Amino acid sequence: MRSADVVRQSRFYNGVMKAAVFDEFRGPIRVQTVPVPECPDDGAVIRVAACGICRSDWHGWMGHDPDIRLPHVPGHELAGTVACAGSGVRRWSEGDRVTVPFCCGCGICEPCRRGHTHICHEYTQPGFTQWGAFAEYVVIRHADVNLVALPDSVGFSAAASLGCRFATAFRGIVTQARLQPGQTLAVFGCGGVGLSAVMIGAAAGARVAAVDVRDERLEAAAAAGADVVVDGRCCDPVRTIRRETDGGADVAVDALGSRDTCRQSVLCLRRHGRQVQIGLTLGPDADPSVPMSRVVAFELKLIGSHGMPAVGYRPMLEMIESGRLQPERLISSELSLEDGAEYLTRMDAFPGRGPAVIRFS
């Protein structure tokens, strides 16, 4: 590390930080004192103000992600301020309020040159390919192409909740599936991604049907703007949605990522419908079967949505600033680092009514 960086960093910290670390998959997550990451010439060290707790982090802790090397610090939904910018960084300075996509690009490869840094050939992901933001500081490589300026009107907790769930849902519904006012949207699974999809669909002027198997999640979906809530415990979601949408949804989102919800989100579509797969199908739900005969017969479109590049944040942030989108309403709790680490281990039980966020300040 260059001596100038050490001087700049010393104003923020003394070389160590608190972080939640696990040494084995499915093992304890303990808050420890560890070294602060060094600031690379092309990157920035972010002082974390808030970090979301996502089911993707749970999958990582379970051992479902091949990128993770132990010991490891999870956390990929972050917001905070720039503590240090490397010598090659031109757009960012100490103290800037920022957030970041959960999947970061190199800025050089073919997808990055086309603006698709979220599907970079040499991607980096805080909390997966590197230590993440369940820590007081986190390093972000290639800062000029990956950091996103955070308006003063958007709080750190709300910004942290954008990083994976909300941004992925926004791009999947608005950019990829091109949901239009007056169309119908079906959302399977009302966790963080699903509630985000409900709110975004309602703000886009669609009629929204939301499916879950827990009363509190269905209530949260109704509060987020769902016109119809479907209890998957007591009825056939596909038949109900096709009835409630007069023949099928225009767009369906699998926000959970299970074999059942993936199949149901395809089968509930009307002709020329679009299915958006956001929920990760990992572990026992890996590679679900798709009713391809229906895809062919109805000329359906199957769309994957894996985050959003930094250049795509502006329309979403404008809707938040205007009040049309209010992601802070979806947050169910703000936790300490210690409580957040424990909460992560219970994500398989889908605790809470919506996203939980770790707050550092």
Provide the β-strand partners of residue 18: 33
Check: CB of residue 289 under 8 Å from CB of residue 318: no
| Cβ burial 38-48 (10 Å sphere, 16+ → b, else e) | ebbebbbbbbb
Domains of the chain, with CATH numbers? 3-150+331-359 (3.90.180.10), 166-304 (3.40.50.720)
Token pair for 124: 């980096």
Out of 6-10, 123-127, 290-294, pick the least confident.
Answer: 6-10
| Confidence check: pLDDT of 11 > 60 | no
Give me the chain's average pLDDT, please: 92
The runs of H, that is alpha helices, within 63-136 are 110-113
Q: Determine the pLDDT at residue 260.
A: 94
What share of the chain has pLDDT > 70, as a percent?
A: 96
Q: Determine the pLDDT at residue 165.
A: 87
Task: Tell me the angle at which helices 337-344 and 55-62 cross, rounded to the nearest 10 degrees.
Answer: 70
Out of 8-12, 186-190, 280-284, pick the least confident.
Answer: 8-12
| Confidence check: pLDDT of 170 > 80 | yes
Unique residue bearing structure tokens 């369940």: 134
* Residue with the larger pLDDT of the pair 287 and 263: 263
Q: Determine the pLDDT at residue 282.
A: 75
Within 13 Å of residue 1, how many CA atoms lie on the same side as its CB? 20
The runs of H, that is alpha helices, within 298-336 are 313-322
Over its C-alpha atoms, the chain yields an Rg (Å, rounded) of 20
Q: Which of 338, 266, 332 is nearest to 298 (CA)?
A: 266
User: pLDDT category, 354, cuts 50, 70, 90?
Assistant: confident
pTM: 0.87
Q: 272-316: per-residue pLDDT in tens?
A: 999 999 988 877 888 888 999 999 999 999 999 988 999 999 999
Unique residue bearing structure tokens 């997808």: 111
Q: 59-82: per-residue pLDDT in tens?
A: 999 999 999 999 999 999 999 999
Q: Determine the pLDDT at residue 12.
A: 52
* Residue with the larger pLDDT of the pair 286 and 134: 134
Q: H or E stretch including 218?
A: helix 215-224
Check: CB of residue 301 under 8 Å from CB of residue 273: yes
Distance in angstroms (rounded) separating the CA atoms of residues 307 and 43: 20
Distance in angstroms (rounded) separating the CA atoms of residues 91 and 50: 22
Q: Determine the pLDDT at residue 6.
A: 39
Distance in angstroms (rounded) separating the CA atoms of residues 53 and 57: 7
